[in-house]
Structure 1
Amino acid sequence: MRVGLAQIRPHLGRVDINVELHREMIHRAREEQVDLLIFPELSLTGYNLLDLTYEMAMDPFSPEIQRLAQEAGEMDLVIGFIEHSPEHILYNSAAYLTAGNLHYLHRKVYLPTYGMFDEGRYVGQGQVIRSFPTRFGQFGMLICEDFWHLSAPYLLAQDGAHLIIVPSNSPGQDLTGPELRAQESWYSLLKNYALLSGTYLLFANRVGTEDGITFYGGSAVVDPFGKIEKKAGLFKEALLVVDIDMEKVKKARFQMPLLRDENLDLTIRELNRIKRKRTGEGTW
């Protein structure tokens, strides 16, 4: 299976320009015979939308998304956008497109609303973390901050995901050092979660600057043994193409059978106890 990570520089609030960026990457990926092409979080709109959020929102079946799905042909796509739901709630969403159609939709669950981030003011919180079948196997998706909550990749691995897609808009920190602090943190998480869950992790981050916030890129593919197979450079647009071997998932889970030995009954029981304790319903 050949995957492509489209490390692009979206234009804030310019869906028309961003659609063309997507088309260019789709054409490049097709030349590289990519099977699955992944774009970063909010790739169609840019990140720091603030009061533009409502104006940028679109239906998952919008002409822009449908055009990209059709243009991809036999190649599967993951794209990020602001979703306008039938209930008129806005979400930070990622769509998995296959055979020209919407196949699965993930709505970002954990919305950072601290420091430089203010997502919770503008979009709603997703309520589902689940794996889904694809023609390549069982996959899962988590958007940026979702991945920083250890319960999220844990749930997907327990739900059968062999590969987790992580579209991101991660800004750089400590830009003067030899290696970015944000990059170090992300790679540490990716390697450890991949190792503990025995899953492939595909991290697609963007580049560019919005309102003084610089996004660093560094997109990466991490195998089920926790090894970075390949990573993109910093601050420059790139198409990272990697051939991955899903047989590695079988080997990793045989050599380190953590998922097999996980005690879900104990985990659920203790989480329910903790929830009751926190809500004052007792400790047992």
Structure 2
Amino acid sequence: MKVSIGLAQFAPRLGSIQANLDHHLRTIEDAAAQGIELLVFPELSLTGYNLQDLVSEVAAHPTPDDPMFGPLLDASRATNIDLVVGFVEEDRRHRFYISQAYLSEGKTLHVHHKVYLPTYTMFDEGRFFAWGDEVRAFETRFGRVGMLICEDFWHASPPYLLWLDGADLLLFASASPGRGLDEQERLGSARWVELVNQAYASMFTNYVVHCNRVGFEGGFNFWGGSTVADPNGEFLVHAPYLDEALVECTIDLNELHRTRSRLPLLRDERTGLMMRELSRILAEQPNGER
């Protein structure tokens, strides 16, 4: 099966729900004209990133009666495009989560809550948001998929869990700001994210789709550079740095068969050993599970 994937790299307006929703709907129309079947937006694409005290004001529910999600669900049905969008979700106990929703044919198939909230250097997410507590793959018309948000894929365990849970397509969304320069005067943060994406693609013999935002917000400069990496760890497409773009890439899911036939890492993974050793490590730690 071949799937046309779109990376909707753009600069959301902080706290401006209607403006961001309008941008999503216009981009969906553009994607439909290009024959895109799966369209991925960045982290917090509907709200902007540096929300702080705006968190409760922009929270939404991924249901048809929500004024933000109703039009998106309608658009997914009308265009037959699966959508991955970033937003703030409020649960029934009034906890707020950095979230990514997968919409298909007018339905919300899955919502992922960001598991790791950075509180180092310039980041302060743990002050405003609750941690997610699940990492699960889910079924789509393109096969089994897993979603992670930014800091989640700086930790090895979430993509590993998705791999074991059957995900062949990993969808990463981020609001990654530019930090540092390497010896070629490239952004250091871009270099590290790209290396991580290629490593996961090759180690897990999966497709890794990463959509990062651009623009300036709250003193942050987001660098874009969205990519799709194939199961061999090679980039199939690379969006421009710093500029808005809708980039298309067609992947061939038959490549999963070809790669895993010659490199059976999934076949040989010893999950029982992993479980036993994790249990031992947790038991030996004085404070138990972190």
TM > 0.5 between the two?
yes
One-letter amino acid matched to 1:26: I
Superposed CA RMSD:
1.2
In structure 2, the partner of 1:84 is 90
The 8 Å contact of residues 66 and 101 in structure 1, kept in 2 or not, is answered as no
Of 131, 134, 141, the residue aligned with 1:128 is: 134
1:57 is matched with which residue? 59
Q: Name the CA distance, whole Å, in 2 between partners of 1:188 and 1:220.
A: 11
Give the aligned partner of residue 119 of structure 1: 125
> 2:186 and 2:254 mapped to 1: Cα distance?
32
Structure 2 counterpart of 1:182: 189
Count of residue pairs brought into register by the alignment: 281
Q: How many angstroms apart in 2 are the aligned matches of 1:56 and 1:192? A: 35
Residue 23 of structure 2 corresponds to: 21
TM-score, normalized by length of structure 2?
A: 0.94
CA distance in 2, matches of 1:76, 1:169: 21
What's 1:2 paired with?
4
Q: Counterpart of 2:70? A: 66
Percent identical across equivalent pairs?
45
Q: What per-residue deviation string (whole Å, max 9, x for no partner) do you get for residues 109-133 of structure 1?
A: 0011111101111111111101100
Q: 1-side partners of 2:91 and 2:193: how far apart?
A: 30
Q: Which stretch shows the higher mean deviation, 135-144 or 58-67?
A: 58-67
Instruction: Supply the distance in 2 between the matched residues of 1:251 and 1:111 (Cα, whole angstroms).
Output: 36
Structure 2 residue matching 1:47: 3-state secondary structure = coil
**Does the CA-based 8 Å contact 1:200-1:223 persist in structure 2?**
yes
1:36 corresponds to which of 35, 38, 43: 38
Picking from 95, 101, 112, the partner of 2:107 is: 101
Distance 1:69 1:235 in 2: 29
1:41 CA drift (Å)? 0.3
| CA deviation profile, 1:173-196 (whole Å, cap 9, x unmatched) | 136963211111011001111100
For residues 148-188 of structure 1, the C-alpha deviation after alignment (integer angstroms, 9 at most, x for no partner) is 10011111111110000001100011369632111110110
Instruction: Indicate the SS of the match to 1:53.
Output: helix
1:278 aligns with 2:281: no
- Taking the TM superposition and a 5 Å limit, the aligned residue runs for 1:97-246 are 97-174=103-180, 178-246=185-253
3-state SS in 2 of match to 1:9: coil
Aligned partners of 1:113 and 1:143: how far apart in 2?
A: 15
Structure 1: segments with no counterpart, 5+ residues: none
Cα separation, 2, equivalents of 1:181 and 1:202: 20
Structure 1 stretches of at least 4 aligned residues deviating more than 2 Å after TM superposition? 174-178
Deviation, 1:280, is 6.2
Q: Which amino acid aligns with 1:217?
A: G
- One-letter code aligned to 1:164: L
- Deviation of 1:87 (Å): 2.1
CA deviation string 1:209-265 (max 9, x = no partner) = 111100000000000110000110011100010000011111111111111101111
Q: Point out where structure 2 has 5 or more consecutive residues left out of the alignment.
A: none
